[in-house]
Amino acid sequence: MTLPIPAAVAVAAMLLVASGDLLAAERAIDPAKSSISAVFTQMGVPVEAPFTRFSGRVDHDPAKPADARAVLEIDTTSFDIGDDDYNAEVRKPEWFDSGRFPKASFTASGLKPAGNGSFEAAGKLSLKGRTAELKAPVTIKAEAGGSRYSGVATLSRKTFGIGDPAWDGTVEDPVKIKFQIFVPAAR
């Protein structure tokens, strides 16, 4: 059985940091209007699979992007490759080790303007008992009832001990995290 490696769970979290909602106030994301997925290459073929359970909060005043804060938690057991056997496999210790580490988290503070409505969010990603600095580009767009934060960030699965060396020829190291996070406007 060949397994995909979704080590980039937390990059999606960075999008929360980049949230530049129109009003300053901490708000919960709306998971029903949001998505986070990992894209990895296995045997030369790109595979994209979603995380179906995640939550987070964002606090951002567009007039003070350097003061922005965000926290995102992703349930690693919710990674859905589309096959029950694969899903069970990626929860094992060699991959996410979801029994010991059921959540990945991203905590970020501050946004750096990158031009054209884009920002760079920086923070710390904790996954599988390891923590690393992580940066992600984020585009912010106003929508009816709130704001959408989108982006794609790349991270190394090896940094977080996702997949043992036996998989190095089968699953490539870089993993992309695609995110579309919706944050309702403050009421």
With respect to residue 52, please indicate whether it lies within any of the assigned structural domains: yes
Ranges 3-17, 45-59, 60-74, 87-101: which has the least confidence: 3-17
153 domain residue, yes or no: yes
Within-domain flag for 143: yes
Q: Tokens 């937390």 appear where? A: 10
The answer to whether 53 and 75 are in contact (CB under 8 A) is yes
Asked whether residue 1 is assigned to any structural domain, the reply reads: no
168: containing domain: 11-184
Mean per-residue pLDDT for 28-48?
95
- On average, the pLDDT of the chain sits at 84
Query: Around 150, how many Cα atoms within 13 Å sit in the side-chain half-sphere?
Result: 9
Q: Could you tell me if residue 163 is inside a domain?
A: yes
DSSP secondary structure letters along 98-142: TTT--EEEEEEEEEEEEETTEEEEEEEEEETTEEEEEEEEEEEEE
Q: What is the CATH number of the domain that holds 165?
A: 2.40.128.110
Q: Rounded mean pLDDT of 27-34?
A: 95
Q: Residue 4 falls within a domain, yes or no?
A: no
pLDDT of residue 2: 41
Of 4-13, 22-31, 69-78, 158-167, highest mean pLDDT: 69-78
The mean per-residue pLDDT over the stretch 106-125 comes to 88
Domain count, the chain: 1
Percent of the chain with pLDDT over 70: 87
* Residue 3 within any structural domain of the chain: no
For 60, the 3-state DSSP assignment is coil
pLDDT surpasses 70 at 12: no
pLDDT-wise least confident of 11-15, 70-74, 104-108, 145-149 = 11-15
Assess whether pLDDT exceeds 90 at residue 36: yes
Q: What is the DSSP letter of 66?
A: G
Could you tell me the pTM of the whole model?
0.83
pLDDT of residue 3: 37
Reply yes or no on whether the pLDDT at 182 is more than 70: yes
Q: Is the dihedral of CA 102, 74, 13, 172 positive or negative?
A: positive
Q: Average pLDDT in the 110-136 region?
A: 90
Q: Kindly state whether residue 5 falls inside one of the protein's structural domains.
A: no
Beta-strand ranges (E) seen in the chain are 27-28, 35-42, 45-51, 54-59, 69-75, 103-115, 118-127, 130-143, 146-156, 174-184
Task: Give yes or no for residue 185 having a pLDDT over 50.
Answer: yes
